[in-house]
Structure 1
Amino acid sequence: MTDSGPSEERLRRSPPATTDDELVKFESALGTLLPDELVRLYKAANGYYSVHGQWWVISPLDQMADAESWLRPFDGYLDDWIAFGDDGTGDPYCFHRVDQSITLLSMIDRSHERVAIGLPDFSTIVLSRV
Structure 2
Amino acid sequence: MDAAGWRQTLRAADDGLALQPPVDTGEIAAVELRLGITFPAELRGLYEATDGIFDKPGEWFVMWRLGDVARWNLEAWNGWESEARRTLLGFGDDGTGDPFCVALDGKPTIFSWSPIEQEARPLAPNLREFWLGWLSGQMKT
Q: TM class, shorter-chain normalised?
A: 0.7 to 0.9
Q: How does 1:47-126 map to 2 (within 5 A)?
A: 47-72=52-77, 73-78=81-86, 80-96=87-103, 97-126=105-134
Distance in 1 between the 2:99 and 2:35 partners? 16
TM-score (norm 2): 0.79
The reply to whether residue 3 of structure 1 matches residue 11 of structure 2 is no
Deviation digits for residues 45-104 of structure 1, max 9, x if unmatched?
A: 1111110111111111101111023210431445x3211110000010011234211111
Preserved CA contact (<8 Å) 1:101 1:114: yes
More helix as a share of residues: 2
Structure 1: tracts of 5 or more residues without a match: 5-9
Over the matched positions of the two proteins, sequence identity in percent amounts to: 31
Gaps of 5+ in 2: 1-11
Query: Structure 2 CA distance, aligned partners of 1:69 and 1:43?
Result: 22
Rounded Cα–Cα distance in structure 1 between residues aligned with 2:120 and 2:31: 25
- Give the TM-score, by structure 1 length: 0.85
- Structure with more strand by fraction: 1
Contact 2:18 2:56 (C-alpha < 8 Å) held by counterparts: yes
Counterpart Cα distance in 2 of 1:53 and 1:83: 19
